[in-house]
Structures are given as C-alpha cells and as structure tokens.
C-alpha cells in the first residue's frame, strides 16, 4: 500500500505553510566588471547568504530582480553563482543581448553601492546528478551561469557534457576544464542543436534551459533518443521578441 502517515503529512504541511511563497531582499552591489558579453556583479545580501541558509539555495537558484527602468519595476530572473555564505556575497552574470532590455541596461549602469530589490520564490527545484552520472547540460548564454554553478556542485565522479548555443568564441562562465563543451551557433538552427545534443552518447541525466520555444522540442528529442522522462529537467529562460517577466507598478509589489 502506498500513502503517507498523518504525522508525516502534518509535519510536511506545517513546513510548507511556514515557507513564504516570496521572500523579499535587497542586494547591494559590491563590484562590477565586464566579462565577455556579461556584466558580472558581485552582490552582498547577508539576509539571504549566510551559514544558516547555505543548504536552502540549490545549484541554479535564481532571484527575481525588480529592475528599475522608465519609472517602473521589471521582474527579471537571474541566477546566483559563486555564493559565499561566510561573507554574504554572490555573483550574478547579466547578459547583454540585442535588443537590450531593462535587465541588461541596468547591469551596464550599476555601480558599487547601488541597491536593487529582489525576490526569492519558493518551490525552486533542481535535481543534482547522482555520483558517476553521465550528465548533459544544454543551454545558451543566459543559462550558462546556472550551468557553471551546477557543474561546480556536481559530484566529482560525474562525466559532464555541455552543449551551449552561442556564437563560437563567445566567452561564458562555463568551466571548460570540468566538462566536454560543444558550441553550436544560434544561426545553425534548432535542428543542428538537436543533432548536437542527441549524438552525445550514453547520457543518463539532462538539464536544459534555453529560449522558451526551444526547450520543449529538445526535451522531446532526448526522450525519443532514450533518456527516461524523469531524467530530463528543462526550463525556458527567455522569450524571443518579448520580455519574459512582468512589469509592476511599485504599489502592486505587495500584492504580487
């Protein structure tokens, strides 16, 4: 018989109800520098990054930044990497893309001492590859920071392949020495990406994060190629031609 005991259920429910759906924070910019197509921001937030919380932030954890632009706030997702729970600091790599949006514009103008409001949403999921897994990460320059963080956290015994949709020669934070990296130009199209991904032999774990319309067909192709459905995690990270996040009036924040 399957089921959950009343005690376990009630303990889980009380844990769930204690967790706020959205936690608000303010990040302070400590340092900025241009890193290839990104601005790398070192940010400080001891309320979020401290030894007590070190188990709460999974690899690929991200914040919803409330980016000020044009008198309003624009919600945009950005990944926390290089977290140091002793100093309360982490890095965010914010990509400059064309056409630019509020997120990339704000990153270019950010200076040490600036502050930005951010939200941590409950329920973020990331399943770590098990020891000895033959893991595959597929992404682009927006998800390359998350892939770098995931590789840093993966068991050392994993064999890791990365397929990155990017202009050949583009810099990204993905650590070349810790994985086998294949770069596919966006100009080569979706079929070329699918072919590059499905011809990597013997994978038993996959994590995909791409433009929203590309993630689902790639997942389907991997499942058709033999990966178990529950071994494939995927997420759209941005939407071609339209902003991914909502624009909110300052007064609407409390209700979000």
Q: Which of 137, 205, 207, 238 binds ligand FAD (CB under 6 A)?
A: 238
**Residue placing its CB nearer to ligand FAD in the complex, 179 or 244:** 244
Size (the chain), residues: 256
Is 66 buried (19+), middle (13-18) or exposed (0-12) by CB count in 10 A?
A: buried
Q: Are 23 and 53 in contact (CB under 8 A)?
A: no
By the rule CB under 6 A, 242 interacts with ligand FAD: yes
Name residue 65's beta-bridge partners: 76, 118
Distance, CA of 24 to chain centre: 18
DSSP alpha helices (H): ranges in the chain? 6-18, 102-109, 144-153, 189-198, 212-224
From 28-36, 140-148, 151-159, 216-224, give the range in contact with ligand FAD by CB under 6 A. Answer: 140-148
Closest CB 13 distance from ligand FAD, rounded Å: 27
**Residue placing its CB nearer to ligand FAD in the complex, 53 or 96:** 96
Which residue is at the shortest CB distance from ligand FAD? 101
Closest CB 239 distance from ligand FAD, rounded Å: 5
From 41-49, 150-158, 197-205, 232-240, give the range in contact with ligand FAD by CB under 6 A. Answer: 232-240
Closest CB 252 distance from ligand FAD, rounded Å: 18
Q: Please give the C-alpha separations between residue 96 and each of 142, 187, 230, in angstroms, as whole numbers.
A: 9, 18, 33
How far apart are the C-alpha atoms of 81 and 142, rounded to whole Å?
13
**Residue placing its CB nearer to ligand FAD in the complex, 162 or 200:** 162
Q: Which two tokens stand for residue 187?
A: 């100009």
By CB under 6 A, what part of segment 162-201 binds ligand FAD? none
Q: Coil, helix or strand for 156? A: coil
How far apart are the C-alpha atoms of 148 and 26, rounded to whole Å?
24
Q: Which of 59, 88, 101, 129 binds ligand FAD (CB under 6 A)?
A: 101
By CB under 6 A, what part of segment 62-81 binds ligand FAD? 62, 74, 76-79
Contacts of 195-198 spanning 24+ positions with Cβ under 8 A: 196/163, 197/136, 197/138, 197/163, 197/221, 197/222, 198/222, 198/225
Q: Which of 142, 174, 184, 206 binds ligand FAD (CB under 6 A)?
A: 142
Q: Which of 27, 95, 110, 150 binds ligand FAD (CB under 6 A)?
A: 95
For ligand FAD, the binding residues (CB under 6 A) are: 62, 74, 76-79, 93-95, 97, 99, 101-104, 142, 145-146, 237-244
């Amino acid at each position: 018989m399957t089921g959950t005991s009343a005690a376990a259920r009630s303990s889980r429910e009380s844990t769930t109800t204690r967790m706020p759906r959205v936690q608000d924070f303010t990040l302070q910019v400590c340092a900025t520098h241009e890193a290839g197509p990104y601005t790398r921001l070192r940010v400080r937030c001891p309320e979020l990054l401290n030894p007590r919380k070190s188990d709460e932030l999974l690899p690929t954890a991200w914040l919803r930044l409330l980016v000020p632009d044009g008198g309003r706030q624009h919600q945009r997702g950005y990944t926390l990497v290089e977290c140091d729970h002793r100093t309360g600091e982490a890095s965010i790599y914010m990509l400059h893309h064309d056409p630019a949006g509020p997120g990339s514009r704000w990153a270019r103008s950010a200076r040490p001492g600036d502050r930005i409001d951010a939200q941590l949403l409950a329920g973020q999921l990331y399943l770590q590859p098990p020891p000895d897994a033959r893991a595959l990460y597929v992404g682009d320059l927006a998800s390359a920071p998350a892939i770098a963080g995931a590789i840093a956290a993966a068991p050392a015994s994993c064999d890791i392949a990365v397929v990155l949709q990017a202009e050949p020669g583009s810099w990204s934070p993905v650590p070349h020495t810790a994985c086998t990296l294949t770069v596919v130009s966006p100009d080569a199209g979706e079929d070329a990406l699918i072919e590059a991904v499905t011809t990597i032999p013997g994978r038993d774990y996959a994590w995909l994060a791409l433009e929203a319309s590309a993630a689902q067909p790639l997942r389907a192709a991997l499942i058709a190629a033999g990966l178990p459905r529950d071994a494939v995690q995927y997420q759209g990270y941005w939407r071609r031609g339209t902003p991914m996040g909502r624009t909110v009036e300052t007064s609407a924040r409390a209700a979000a």
